[in-house]
Structure 1
Amino acid sequence: MAARLACPYCYETFTAREIGFRCSTRLSRNGRQCTPERDPVLAERMGKRGELGPVFSTGDGRHPRAACPRCGDESTYRICPVCHSTLPVQFGKLEHKLIAMVGAKASGKTVYMTVLLHELMNRVGARLGASLMASDDATMQRFDSEYQETLYRKGQLPSGTRRAGAGDNRVDPLVFRFGLGRGRFYGSRPRHSVLSFFDTAGENFNSRESIELNTRYLAHADGIILILDPLQMPGARALVRPGTVLPGSDGVDAPGNALNRVTNMLLAQRKGGGTGLITTPIAVVFAKLDALWDTLDAGSPLRAHPPAGDRFDTGDSLDVHEEVRRLLKEWEGVPIDQNLEHNYRRYRYFGVSALGNSPTADTRVAPTGIQPYRVTDPLLWLLSEFGSVPRRGRG
């Protein structure tokens, strides 16, 4: 049976043979040229209503190029057979990993994702000898104008993510190509992975029905990053640094409930009604850790930066994991640990701070600027589990 691929834009699955093509609308050698036209599938599935080249199928989309049957020009634009989005270059040839990033309302997920990707493009990417580049023009433009521009250049926290309604099937993920440079780990050829992030609204995780409607990508995710806000936990909320702006409680779901609903959704998606542990690795990330630094012991691993080097340090990661597990008892989060222990085969705790300091009361970055702490650890752990990033230390 042919392996199935998951589209990084709509998260539906298909075989490589089913991949379609879109005409480039260039003038062909024989003098014919296709006229751009509206694509009703792309409009309905992704909300894109412009005119593009006509779609065609060859019966075998494994080839990198195909001749348009109307004009004869050769096209390299391969498209998803379900949503008609243009697939990344070398899709199906590269390692393909879908990373689902989820979190409840006001958990800081959008800020975290922005800083994570910025760090991989810059400081941490240089340390690892890695690169992160947008796989399409839409990702490049949206990440720069809607995410980096707001947070890094304007110093303003983003407003809440748009909530998808029942009649809105649009999925607007950010799709990147992650490359690990040539060197002693992988020989002379660099390794590349396709990473797809869907910044869904936190409200979409406030009920079982909205999860099933808006986040089908969870079912096909290779790894999950779950963002939880300790400031929404009663035990931690009482310990925060004086002056910290606390999240409101209106419409905010408890962190444990967000995990419960994601777990139920993954269990419901099992093929054949299996009853074993969930095999999808999940990184459980407690954000906004800067508000709780004063309560940590001097020797806490959460007070130290990760070891330098170009490998993921598993020993350091396990130390952080055990420290967060200990803190969950203080934060009244033991049910979270029980859920993970009884339902997941691979999970890891992380403590991060995307900004380094609490934002101001008017939702601006603190005057000290953005000083991220351990934001890349969760993604690097997942990539190390896939074998995409080298690691060292005890496993």
Structure 2
Amino acid sequence: MARRLTCPYCYETFTAREIGFRCNSRMSPTQKRCPRKRDRILAERMGQRAEVGPDFAGDGRKPTAVCPDCDGETTYRICPVCHSTLPVQFGMVENRMIAMVGAKASGKTVYMTVLLHEVMHQVGAAFGAALMGADDATMLRFSSDYQDQLFRDGQMFLGTRTAVANDNRVEPLVFRFGLRRRGLFGERPQHTVLSFFDTAGEDFSSRDGMEINTRYLANADGIILLLDPLQMPGARKAARPGTALPGSEGVDAPGNVLSRVTNMLLGLQKGTPRKVDTPIAVVFSKLDAFWHQLEAGSPLRAQPPTGNQFDVEDSLSVHEEVRQLLKDWDGVPIDQALENNYARYRYFGVSALGNSPTPEARVAPTGIQPYRVADPLLWLLSEFGSVPRKVRRKGKGRG
């Protein structure tokens, strides 16, 4: 059976042969040119209404095809379902989908923005890696709608628009992660296509909202579940005095979000019931509100090890420390749910900003000081084999 690929834009699956092509609408060697027009499918599925060249069928296993109307050769390969232009070498390099989910007001958009910024800069330098937008829309949206607003303007984000309000569409940011790996025959480049989508917390607060995101989670290779400890009764009591606590109106409890995601993933299984094998990084945000309570030797007060490998021992130490905190945060049910339902999970504690934003919804005067934001993604990439691991001892913990 032919291997099925997943579109990084609509998350539908198909085989390489089914990949279509789009004419580039340039003058062909036979002096013909196809007119540009609106692609109805692209507009309906992805909301893109710009005029583009006509689509046509071909053998998507090949990098090029000849347009039957103008005889011009094109390299534009498109998803057969949503008609989005696929990244260069799609299907020839690793294609990984990362689902980012969490409750309303858990800080998903801020975390995602800081995470990607860190991978482009500090992590990229340490690992010899490059993270680049895989398409013009991603490059423009990430720069103007995310990175500039937070890092240049110091302005926090409004709530993420729900999928229902967005005509049942989720618009992922698609990146190309390149890394130099040493092999028997010297250094060789390794590329991974990463697709991130930031769903609204409201999309995971009801069964109807979950149904809209079924195919996105079903085809995700890894999940980042962001939970705000300040939404947990036990943790709220322990927060640093003066910490702005999120309101409870319209906010779903972290345990409920995990339960809904878990029920959906279990419901997708066929045959004998088993644990979910999709690796899930369970990330507790806003850790800066609890630093005052951590012991000096806590791994959650230490900077992550330097180097160009994912440090397994350090990650397991953080995992075990967070598990202990859950006992104080009334989070034992979360731990039990993960242990009973997931084959691979790992806990993380992060702070995207390093300090609480101001009452005016701006970055604190101290600036953005991220802490361990890249750890969850590096763990997932190490699970995929996309980044190397450093293993020093056998430890406890899952995955």
Amino acid across the alignment from 1:115: V
CA distance in 1, matches of 2:387, 2:184: 9
Q: 1:190 to 1:332 in 2, by over 3 A?
A: same
CA distance in 2, matches of 1:329, 1:251: 25
Normalised to the residue count of structure 1, the TM-score between the two structures is 0.97
CA distance in 2, matches of 1:273, 1:334: 30
1:242 equivalent in alignment to 2:241: yes
Structure 1: segments with no counterpart, 5+ residues: none
Q: 1:166 to 1:361 in 2, by over 3 A?
A: closer
1:345 equivalent in alignment to 2:343: yes
CA distance in 2, matches of 1:22, 1:355: 42
Q: Secondary structure at the match of 1:157?
A: coil
Displacement of 1:167 after TM fit? 7.6
- In the alignment, which residue of structure 1 is the partner of 2:199? 200
Displacement of 1:169 after TM fit? 3.0
- In the alignment, which residue of structure 1 is the partner of 2:363? 365
- In the alignment, which residue of structure 1 is the partner of 2:67? 68
Q: 1:310 to 1:167 in 2, by over 3 A?
A: closer
Q: 1:239 to 1:372 in 2, by over 3 A?
A: same
Residues 185, 390 of structure 1: 8 Å contact kept? no
- In the alignment, which residue of structure 1 is the partner of 2:313? 315
Residues 42, 83 of structure 2: 8 Å contact kept? yes
CA distance in 1, matches of 2:224, 2:301: 22
Displacement of 1:274 after TM fit? 3.4
Q: 1:186 to 1:203 in 2, by over 3 A?
A: farther
Structure 2: segments with no counterpart, 5+ residues: 395-399
Q: Deviations over 1:89-146 (max 9, x none)?
A: 0000001111111111000010000000000101111011111000000000000000
CA distance in 2, matches of 1:175, 1:16: 19
CA distance in 1, matches of 2:162, 2:265: 21
Amino acid across the alignment from 1:347: Y
CA distance in 1, matches of 2:338, 2:387: 24
Q: Secondary structure at the match of 1:290?
A: helix
1:16 equivalent in alignment to 2:16: yes
Amino acid across the alignment from 1:251: G
Displacement of 1:232 after TM fit? 0.3
1:156 equivalent in alignment to 2:155: yes
Residues 44, 169 of structure 1: 8 Å contact kept? no
Residues 290, 353 of structure 1: 8 Å contact kept? yes
Q: 1:178 to 1:167 in 2, by over 3 A?
A: closer
CA distance in 2, matches of 1:73, 1:295: 66
Amino acid across the alignment from 2:10: C
CA distance in 1, matches of 2:75, 2:8: 18
Residues 300, 323 of structure 1: 8 Å contact kept? yes
- In the alignment, which residue of structure 1 is the partner of 2:92? 93
Q: Secondary structure at the match of 1:189?
A: strand
- In the alignment, which residue of structure 1 is the partner of 2:288? 290
1:378 equivalent in alignment to 2:391: no
Instruction: Trace 1:37-116 onto structure 2 (pairs within 5 A).
Output: 37-58=37-58, 60-116=59-115
Amino acid across the alignment from 2:232: M
Instruction: Trace 1:162-241 onto structure 2 (pairs within 5 A).
Output: 162-165=161-164, 168-183=167-182, 187-241=186-240
CA distance in 2, matches of 1:7, 1:308: 34
* Percent of aligned pairs with the same amino acid: 71
Normalised to the residue count of structure 2, the TM-score between the two structures is 0.96
CA distance in 2, matches of 1:219, 1:241: 38
Q: 1:186 to 1:251 in 2, by over 3 A?
A: farther
- In the alignment, which residue of structure 1 is the partner of 2:123? 124
Displacement of 1:41 after TM fit? 0.5
Displacement of 1:166 after TM fit? 6.9
Residues 214, 264 of structure 2: 8 Å contact kept? no
More displaced stretch, 209-218 vs 145-154: 209-218
Q: 1:273 to 1:377 in 2, by over 3 A?
A: same
- In the alignment, which residue of structure 2 is the partner of 1:279? 277
